[in-house]
Amino acid sequence: MMSQLHLMTTGKQRPDILEQLLPELALSVDRIHLREPLWSAKELVVCIETLVRRGVKTEQLIVHDRLDVAVVTGTGVQLTTRSMPVDLVRHRFPELVIGQSVHSLTEAIAAEQAGADYVLYGHIFETGSKPGVPPRGLDALKQVVDWTSIPVIAIGGITPDNLPDILATGCAGGAVLSGILGQASPVEAANRFQAVMQR
């Protein structure tokens, strides 16, 4: 399977900015996670409808935590430690693409057993979004990859320079926040990541 580049929104852009930017970025990334805890369900739905109208494929989109929005719009859902349990969601919505955010091997194994389609594991390297929290590192990532059979997407401090080390663990890809959306030219930044993915 080709490695995947997941783009996470950062909670710092207005909906209208993302609605302009994400259709262009959708050409350079595999999945777009709407990680916007402060938005209402209505704002998320309107944004998703706008993105799809502007050419983003519904299956590229993943909504964080908001199962209601994912079910209504047909996107995937990313469950977090605050969300409903994977097994409950899987039982009620067997067709839904479900990701689970995990921070340990134990959590990753539990997510797989509960029916998650993939896990998002991190943070791997030091990152500004988790100041003072020690990163888990590449060895721990490799362990999660080795002990689970569903795709593992790495997150946390990933750059085009360290992406080859991430992919060398056998994980399914990487997720990036400010490394793309925090850059002066997000599209150029995404293309730099994608160029490494395709080596």
Taking only the tens place, the pLDDT of each residue in 44-71 is: 999 999 999 999 999 999 999 999 999 9
Cα(197)–Cα(29) distance, integer angstroms: 10
What's the token pair of residue 175? 């997720």
CB-based contacts of 94, cutoff 8 Å, min separation 6: none
Catalytic residues: 123
What single-letter amino acid sits at 52? V
Cα(171)–Cα(162) distance, integer angstroms: 13
pLDDT tens for each residue of the chain, 199 residues long: 689 999 999 999 999 999 999 999 999 999 999 999 999 999 999 999 999 999 999 999 999 999 999 999 999 999 999 999 999 999 999 999 999 999 999 999 999 999 999 999 999 998 777 778 889 999 999 999 999 999 999 999 999 999 999 999 999 999 999 999 999 999 999 999 999 998 8
